[in-house]
Structure 1
C-alpha cells in the first residue's frame, strides 16, 4: 500500500501467520494504539478475497474493566472502530476485578480480563485470541522477571503463543503501533494508569527504563528484547527435556492419587532438569507452579537433606521423602490436596 508505514506490513504478516485459517480469531482490543493497530493488521486478512488468508474470520472483543469513569464511552468508541475496520463479530465483555485481591490491582485486572476472554471464546465459538503485546511490553516483562529473580522462563518474557492466545506484535514497538493507527486514521486512547508510578509496570515504563537508557545504554530495549528471545529458546529446550524425562521417573499413582518419583534417578538429573521435573509432578498432582523458595526446599529432599519433609507447597500439595523400611523408601512422594 503506497504510503503505508513499514511497520504495517510487518504487522500484517505477523498477524496472518497467527490467524486460525479454519476458525474464528478474536482480536482483544482496549482502545489503545497497540490493540487498534493489531485490529487493523488482522482486518486486512479478514477482508481479503484471494490468497492463503482469504477465508480467515476475524472478530473483536473489548473488555471493560469498569476501572475508569469513562469506560463505557471508551469501550463504545473501540467497538465502533473495530466495526469500521470490518471485524465481525464485535462484542463488549465486562471483567470482574476483585478490589480485595491479595495479588494487587494489576494481577486482579489481568485475572478478570482472561476470564472474559475465555467466556467470549465459548460464546462466539472462537478458537484463538490475538493480544497486542509489543516489544515494549516484552522489555518491561524482562525487567520484572529480573526484579523478582524468578528464573529463565521469567526472563523469557511474554510468549508469542500459549494455549489459544497469540501475540503477533512482539517485534514491533509502541511507536510502530501509533504509526499504524495514524495511517488508518484510528483514534486511540491513552490509559492514564500506564503512566501512574503507583503500579510497578508503569514505574518501569516511565522511570526505570528511561534511567537505564540515559545512564547505561541507549539500546537497552533492544538488548532486553534479545535476552527474552534467547531465554525463551533455552527455557523451551529445558522444558522439553524435562517432559521427556518425567514419565521415566514417575511410578503409577496409588488409590490416594499420590505421585511417586524415583529418587536416585531424579537426583542424577542436572539441577535445571530436576527442578522442572518436580514442577511437572506438582502440576500433575493438581497444584500450581511452585515458587522458587518452595521448589528449592523440595529439591533439598532429593539431594540429601536430613529432613524427609513434608514440604508444604502452594495449592495444599505436600511433598516428602519415603522413610526407611516403608514401601515409599527411595521415592519422592507428592501428595495432592485430597491425599
Structure 2
C-alpha cells in the first residue's frame, strides 16, 4: 500500500524540484513548523536520500513572539525523526525598514542565505504554496504593480527553490495529518493587521464566493504567464541596455540630433542638463553614472524602454527599491517628449539629463 495521496503529492513535487542536483549535494529546508514547511521537510527527508542527496533543516527565530526560541528548538528536535541533518536554529534581529512584514522577510532571507553559504548547500527549500502565490498576485494588483510583481514568486531563485507552488494548503495539512505531524499555527497568520492576512481571510473568500471556486489556481496561473512575459522583456531590456550604452560611448555614433522643439520641428538639440549636472558629453562613464543613446531608446517599446531606464538608473547609483513609476515616467519624457526641458532628479543624488543625443545619468560622486 502506497503513501497517502497528499503525502505522495508533496514528495513528487520535492523529487521534481531536486532532479537536477548532483549526488552528495546538501539541501536545506527552511521550516517554521507550520503545515506547509513541515510537510516539505518531511518530504525532503524521505526523498533526498533516495536521490543520493543530503538534507538538513533550518528554522528562523525572529524573536517577535513570546516563546519563539522554545518553538524553534521544538522544530529542530523534529529533525532526527524526519531524517534531516544538520539542523539549526537561526536567531535574527528584525529591523523596522519597510514595515514589519518586509523587515522580518529581509532578516529571514539574510540568515538563510548566510547559513546556505556556511554549510555549502546547493539549495534551500521554501514552503510557499499555490495559496501564497495567489495572495502575492492580489497584493501586486492592489499596489498597481507591473508584470514583474504580478509574476509573484518563482520556483527557482538563486539558491532558493519552492517545490510547492502548485500545491494548495489543504494538501500540506492533509500530508501532515497522514504522517502524524502536528503543525504549529502562527498567530500572525490570523492577525488582520497584516495585509496578506486580510487577503487570505477576506478578499480571496469573497472572490471564491462571487466568481466561483478555483480562484487561487487561476491567480497562480496568471503569475506563471506574467513571469514568462516579464522574463522575456527583462532579457530584451538587458540587450537593449548594452546596445544603448555602446552607442552612447561611440564617438562616431549619433552625434547631434534634431531638436523637436515643436511638432514636426527641426533644428539642433540645445545643451540642456539638470541642475548639478557635469556639463560633459557623456559616454558610459559620465559623471560617475552612464549614458544611453536616445536613438536606441526611441525605437524600443515602452515596456522595454522603461526597463532599460531602470537598469541604467540602478547602475548609476540609484538605490534599489527607491525608483518609483513617476521617476521612470519623467525619464521617459526625455526620450519621447523632448522639448528642451531640464533634467530629472533621481533618488540617491543621481541626476538625469539629455545632451546631444544621449541620456546622461550623473552620480553625485
> How does the TM-score come out when normalised to structure 2?
0.84
- SS, match of residue 33 in structure 2: coil
Identify if the C-alpha distance between structure 1 residues 244 and 125 changes in structure 2 by more than 3 Å, giving closer, same or farther: same
Q: Distance in 2 between matches of 1:123 and 1:87?
A: 17
Instruction: Assess, with a 3 A threshold, how the Cα gap between structure 1 residues 317 and 82 changes in structure 2: closer, same or farther.
Output: farther
Partner of 1:154: 149
Tell me the CA shift for residue 244 of structure 1: 1.9
Q: What is the deviation of 1:18?
A: 6.2
In the alignment, structure 1 segments of 5+ residues that lack a partner are: 323-328
Of 225, 228, 238, which aligns to 1:230?
225
Q: Cα 1:312–1:131, aligned 2, differ >3 Å: closer, same or farther?
A: farther
Asked if 1:110 is matched to 2:105, the reply is yes
SS of corresponding position for 2:149: helix
- RMSD value over aligned CA atoms? 1.9
Q: Is the 8 A contact 2:289 2:315 kept in 1?
A: no
Change (3 A) 1:78 1:314: farther
Equivalent residue, structure 2, for 1:325: none
Query: Cα offset for 1:237?
Result: 0.9
The alpha-carbon distance between structure 1 residues 156 and 90, as it changes in their structure 2 partners (threshold 3 A), is same
Q: Which runs of 5+ in 2 are unaligned?
A: 250-283
Provide the C-alpha distance between the structure 2 equivalents of 1:163 and 1:12, rounded to a whole number of angstroms: 17
Measured in 2, the distance between the counterparts of 1:20 and 1:311 equals: 50
Q: Which has the larger radius of gyration?
A: 2
Cα offset, 1:57, TM superposition: 1.9
1:292 is aligned to 2:325: yes
Q: Deviations over 1:140-190 (max 9, x none)?
A: 000001001111111111111112211111000111111221222222111
Aligned twin of 1:206 = 201
**Cα deviation code 1:303-332 (max 9, x no counterpart):** 12436443233344332222xxxxxx2111
Separation in 1, partners of 2:149, 2:23: 31
TM-score (norm 1): 0.90
- Is 2:14 aligned against 1:7? no
Question: Which residue matches 1:326?
Answer: none
Displacement of 1:81 in angstroms is 1.4
Q: Conserved in 1, the CA contact under 8 Å of 2:141 and 2:150?
A: yes
For 1:1-339, what aligned pairs fall within 5 Å after superposition? 2-5=2-5, 6-17=8-19, 19=21, 21=23, 23-48=25-50, 53-54=51-52, 56-98=53-95, 100-101=96-97, 103-251=98-246, 252=249, 253-254=284-285, 256-287=287-318, 288-289=320-321, 290-306=323-339, 308-322=341-355, 329-338=356-365
1:208 positional shift: 0.7
SS at match of 2:18: helix
Residues 1:320 and 1:141: Cα distance change in structure 2 (over 3 Å): same
CA offset digits 1:21-60 (Å, max 9, x no partner): 5532211111111111111121123322xxxx21x12211
Contact 2:331 2:344 in 1 (8 A): yes
Pick closer, same or farther for the CA change 1:266–1:305 going to 2, 3 Å: same
How many correspondences in the alignment?
A: 325
Task: Say whether the 8 Å CA contact 1:134–1:171 is kept in structure 2.
Answer: yes
Q: Which secondary structure state, in structure 2, belongs to the residue aligned with residue 250 of structure 1? A: helix
Q: CA deviation at 1:255?
A: 6.6
